[in-house]
Copies of this chain bind each other. A is one copy, B any other.
Amino acid sequence: MTGTEIFDDRKTRASAWFTELRDRICTAFEALEDAQDWGPHKHLPPGSFTRKETRRASAGEADAGGGVMSVLRDGRVFEKVGVNISTVYGNLGEQAQRSLTARKEIPGLEADPRFWASGISLVAHMRSPKTPAVHMNTRMFWTPGAWWFGGGADLNPMVEDADDTAHFHAALKAACDRHDPGYYPRYKAWADEYFMIRHWNEPRGVGGIFYDDHCTGDWEADFAFTRDVGAAFLKAFLPVTERHLKEPWTEADREWQLVKRGRYAEFNLVYDRGTQFGLHTGHNPEAVLMSLPPVAKWP
State whether A266 touches B295 (Cβ < 8 A): no
Contact A298 B293 (CB under 8 A): yes
**A262 contacts the other chain (CB 8 A):** yes
**A298 partner residues in chain B, CB cutoff 8 A:** 80, 265, 289, 292-296
- Which residues in B have their C-beta under 8 angstroms from that of A258? 295
User: How many copies altogether?
Assistant: 2
Q: Is A199 an interface residue (CB 8 A)?
A: yes
B294 engages A296 (CB within 8 Å): no
Is chain A's interface secondary structure helix, strand, loop, or mixed overall?
A: mixed
**Cα-based distance from A258 to B292 in the complex (angstroms):** 13
Contact B285 A294 (CB under 8 A): no
> Which of chain B's residues have a CB closer than 8 A to the CB of A73?
299
Q: How far, in whole Å, are A73 and B299 apart by their CA atoms in the complex?
A: 8
Q: Taking the nearest CB of chain B, how far is it from the CB of A55, in angstroms?
A: 14
Among B80, B285, B289, B296, point to the contact of A296 (Cβ < 8 A): B296
List chain B residues, Cβ under 8 A from A24.
none
In the assembled complex, the Cα of A198 lies from the Cα of B57 at a distance in Å of: 13
Q: Which chain B residues lie closer than 8 Å to A295 at the CB level?
A: 258, 295-298
For residues 233 through 287 of chain A, which have their beta carbon under 8 Å from a beta carbon of chain B? 258, 262, 265-266, 269-270, 279, 285
Shortest distance from the beta carbon of A71 to any chain B beta carbon, whole Å: 10
In the complex, whether A288 has a CB less than 8 A from a CB of chain B is yes
What are the residues of chain B within 8 A of A296 when measuring CB–CB? 295-298
Q: Give Cα A169–Cα B294 distance, bound, in whole angstroms.
A: 34
Residues of chain B within 8 A of A293, CB atoms compared: 298
CA–CA, A299 and B290, complex, Å: 9
For this complex, 29 residue pairs linking A to B, each with C-beta atoms less than 8 Å apart, are A73-B299, A80-B298, A80-B299, A198-B279, A199-B279, A199-B285, A199-B288, A199-B289, A200-B285, A258-B295, A265-B265, A265-B298, A266-B269, A269-B269, A269-B270, A270-B270, A270-B279, A289-B298, A292-B298, A293-B298, A294-B297, A294-B298, A294-B299, A295-B295, A295-B296, A295-B297, A295-B298, A296-B296, A296-B298
Knowing that A262-B292, A265-B265, A294-B298 touch, tell me 15 more A-B residue pairs with CB under 8 angstroms.
Answer: A80-B298, A80-B299, A199-B279, A199-B285, A199-B288, A199-B289, A265-B269, A265-B298, A269-B269, A269-B270, A270-B279, A294-B297, A294-B299, A295-B295, A295-B296
